[in-house]
Amino acid sequence: MMPKKHSFPVGTFILSILVVVGLAVVIYRYIYGLGAISNLSDGRAWGLWISFDLYCGVALAAGGFTLAGAVYIFNLKKYRSVVRPAILTAFLGYTLVILALLVDLGHPWYIWHIIINWNVHSPLFEVGMCVMFYTAVLALEFSPAVFEGLSKSNLPVVRHINWHFPWRVIRAIQIPLVIAGVVLSTLHQSSLGSMLLMMPETLHELWYTPILPILFLISAVAVGPAMVIFESTLSTRVFGHKLDIDVLSGLARVIPYILGLYLLLKVIELTAVGELGLIFTAYPQNLLWWGEIIIGVIVPIILFSMSDVRQNRSAVFWTSVLIIIGLVINRFNVSMLALGMRPGYFYFPHWMEFAVSVGLVADALLVIWLAHRFLPIAHQEQIVEAEI
């Protein structure tokens, strides 16, 4: 399973540079304050990092709990081979969220205050707790791969440790872990919607609804499989272990049902409160609404309902890309573009804000590359189960 040789020098070199630039910006921030590296202001207190790293990052990590739930709880064994990559991506997604918060928060070193000072009425308290616990759960869910990797390593001290012991322990609690992961994700995905419920006066009517938490959860469940298709297709291209088309089309098959439910709820809600007309009249916000709905919902529903599309690898891939783009537009809409600002302010991200976010993504890609290189990610389970 060696990566193609050319992927090392060019790709990883560029990624490393991006990580270093991001890191330099972060150091600059700790010396001169957030104002020096961002265009955030009292009028727009949350910007690119919250919209992209937090809102999109968490939603795009949804492949972890959807696939883990499908395989271990619903016993859909067919998708076993994509669980580990999905959990790794989810874990990295959550790590990125935390790293981005270390830049975005005013006093990241006091983040533990949330453990001792509880405000159970705050949606952000729920978000914080979920991030903490779910990141731990994801780390444990992924840890068997690390133990397997370590047990095969030839490093001086490491090879004398019995890595099968922790491996067995994690295996024994695997089902409770997966259930905890599903519960925490349900709460966390929806709580990001609850967070916006505090802004009934500033979030545009096209998006503000008391059922935002439910919409957030459903859209995350829909983008989970799309994200898994996206990643596994890319890793197929880079690392060369080909995935069964049956797995891809199976994932693609469920997506229209979830997206259909999502669209239905959105339209029913707007109709119920008598705001459906806004999708034609509320210019320019309605363009954003149509953008996310057409790109991320309607077109994917149509495409994935066609069996020709589901049997074609690149069609499945590109349709998944549409779903991901649609979700990103949606999360940017609710957390930035359709969220009113204080009068007299303007916001467009500073280049250093982009540098931090890009650096973090580059960081994750490097870790994925290293993991595929050194850990049994794709074809692991048969090997170890045969050993024991």
Partner 1 sequence: MTLAVLYDANKCIGCRGCQVACKQWNENDEFIPTEENGVQSKNWGSNENPPQLSARTWTKIRFTELDYNGKFHWVFTKLQCMHCEHPACVTACPVGALEKTPEGPVIYDDTKCFGCRYCMLACPFGIPSFEWDSPLPWIRKCTFCADRLGAGLEPACVQTCPTKALKLGEREELIAEARERINTSPDKYINHIYGENEVGGTSWLYLSPVPFEMIGLPTLGSEPVTLDAERAMGAVPPVLMGVAAAMSGIYWVIKRRERISRERTEEKEEVTK
- Contact residues: partner 1, CB under 8 A: 29-36, 40-43, 45-46, 69, 72-75, 105-108, 110-111, 113-114, 117-128, 175, 179-180, 182-183, 186-187, 190-191, 193-195, 197-202, 210, 213, 339, 342-345
Query: Least CB distance from residue 316 to partner 1, whole Å?
Result: 27
Question: Cβ closer to partner 1: 196 or 377?
Answer: 196
161 neighbors 150 (Cβ within 8 angstroms): yes
* Distance between CA atoms of residues 25 and 40, nearest Å: 15
* Distance between CA atoms of residues 69 and 145, nearest Å: 18
Query: Least CB distance from residue 38 to partner 1, whole Å?
Result: 8
Question: Cβ closer to partner 1: 184 or 222?
Answer: 184
Query: Least CB distance from residue 9 to partner 1, whole Å?
Result: 37
Residue type at 322 in one-letter notation: L
* Distance between CA atoms of residues 70 and 83, nearest Å: 9
Q: Which two tokens stand for residue 148?
A: 């397997």
* Distance between CA atoms of residues 297 and 218, nearest Å: 12
* Distance between CA atoms of residues 43 and 341, nearest Å: 5
Q: 164-172 and 174-196 are packed helices; what angle lies between their axes, rounded to 10 degrees?
A: 60
Query: Least CB distance from residue 242 to partner 1, whole Å?
Result: 29
Question: Cβ closer to partner 1: 190 or 232?
Answer: 190
Question: Cβ closer to partner 1: 25 or 323?
Answer: 25
Question: Cβ closer to partner 1: 59 or 243?
Answer: 59
Residue type at 324 in one-letter notation: I
217 neighbors 186 (Cβ within 8 angstroms): yes
Query: Least CB distance from residue 186 to partner 1, whole Å?
Result: 5
Strands (E), 279-336: none
Query: Least CB distance from residue 26 to partner 1, whole Å?
Result: 12
Query: Least CB distance from residue 24 to partner 1, whole Å?
Result: 16
Question: Cβ closer to partner 1: 261 or 325?
Answer: 261
Query: Least CB distance from residue 359 to partner 1, whole Å?
Result: 20
Question: Cβ closer to partner 1: 29 or 84?
Answer: 29
* Distance between CA atoms of residues 127 and 166, nearest Å: 30
Question: Cβ closer to partner 1: 5 or 121?
Answer: 121
Q: Where are the alpha helices (DSSP H) in 197-297?
A: 212-239, 245-272, 278-281, 285-293
Question: Cβ closer to partner 1: 206 or 362?
Answer: 206
- Could you say which DSSP state residue 120 is in? T
Rg (CA), the chain: 21
* Burial status of residue 188 (CB atoms within 10 A of its CB: 0-12, 13-18, 19 or more): buried
* Cβ-proximal residues to 55 (8 Å cutoff; 6+ apart), any chain: 192, 331, 332, 334, 335
Query: Least CB distance from residue 201 to partner 1, whole Å?
Result: 5
Q: 245-272 and 212-239 are packed helices; what angle lies between their axes, rounded to 10 degrees?
A: 160
